[in-house]
Amino acid sequence: MKPLDNAALVLFSGGQDSTTCLAWALSRYARVETLGFDYRQRHAIELSVRPKILQTIRSLDSDWAARLGNDHVLDLSVLGDVSETALTRDSDIAMQANGLPNTFVPGRNLLFLTLAAALAYRRGIDVLVGGMCETDFSGYPDCRNETLRALQATLQLGMDAPIEIETPLMWLDKAATWQLADQLGGKALIDLIRTETHTCYLGERTLLHDWGYGCGQCPACELRIKGYETFSGTKHLAPRDL
C-alpha cells in the first residue's frame, strides 16, 4: 500500500461533495482535520449535520477514526453583509442576467480557501482539500480549476509555504462522485452520504428519498437526483437495496 501523506485540511460543509472529499482524504493522509464556515446560510442545516457525519465516518473504519482530528468552524457572517444572494437571504433561487444563479456568493471559495490556508499554516498542514467541481458546476467561477490553480500560486507566494489545493471531484460528474464514495467506503459510506449529508438549497429535510433528503426541485437537488439515478442504475441495484 502506498504510504500515507502527512496531513490535510478538508473544507467540510456537510454536503455530499465535501463528505466524499473527507473520505478521500482519510484514505490518503495520516492526519485529517476539517473546517466549516458559518456565514449565516439561510438554512443552517448543513452546519448542523456536520458533527453527526464526523461521528458516523469514524465508526466506518478504525484507520479513518485514528486519522480524523480536530474539527474547526469559523464565523464568516461578514459574507452575509457584503453579498446579497439567495443562499444568505430569503429569496427565490433564479438565474441572473449575467448567467449565474443568484445562489452565487461572489468570491466565497476565495475567502474560504484563504482562511483555510491560514488555519492550515497554524496547524502544520500543507494540503487543503475542497469539493469544487467544474463538471456539474452551476457556473460558479470560483469553482474553476484555473481559479484554484491561480489561488494556490497566490497562497504559496503570499504565505511562503508549500500550500497545495487538492480538488478530487474537479473532473467528476455527480454519478462519478457517488462511484468514488463507493470505492472509498462501500455501502456504509454510500448510506451515510444518502441519509446524513445535506445538499438542498431550500433546507428541506422531512422526507428521505432514495437519493437522500431534499426538496427534489432546486438545482442542487436536481443534480443530486440525476447523479444518484445514474450511479444506482450503473450498479443495477434498485434504490431499496442500497
Tell me which residues touch Zn ion (CB under 5 A): 200, 202, 214-215, 218, 221
CB of 209 to Zn ion, least distance (A): 11
CB of 32 to Zn ion, least distance (A): 29
CB of 196 to Zn ion, least distance (A): 16
| Closest to Zn ion by CB, 131 or 214 | 214
**First vs last Cα of the chain: how many Å apart?**
29
Phi-psi region of 85 (alpha: psi -120 to 50; beta: other; left: phi over 0): beta
CB of 186 to Zn ion, least distance (A): 27
CB of 92 to Zn ion, least distance (A): 13
CB of 211 to Zn ion, least distance (A): 11
| Closest to Zn ion by CB, 125 or 202 | 202
Closest to 181 measured CA to CA, from 112, 242, 109, 113: 242
Q: Each residue of 17-38: b (16+ CB within 10 Å) or e? A: bbbbbbbbbbbbbebbbbbbbe
Q: Count of CB atoms within 10 A of residue 222's CB? A: 14
Whole-angstrom CA distances from 89 to 43, 84, 93 are 10, 7, 10
CB of 214 to Zn ion, least distance (A): 4
| Closest to Zn ion by CB, 45 or 73 | 45
Give the whole-angstrom CA distance, residue 5 versus residue 128: 13
| Closest to Zn ion by CB, 103 or 177 | 103
Report the interhelical angle of 174-196 vs 219-234 (nearest 10°).
100
Does residue 11 sit in helix, strand or coil?
strand
Please report which residue ranges of the chain form alpha helices under DSSP H. Answer: 16-26, 45-60, 62-67, 78-82, 108-123, 145-159, 174-196, 219-234
| Closest to Zn ion by CB, 123 or 209 | 209
| Closest to Zn ion by CB, 28 or 198 | 198
| Closest to Zn ion by CB, 163 or 193 | 193
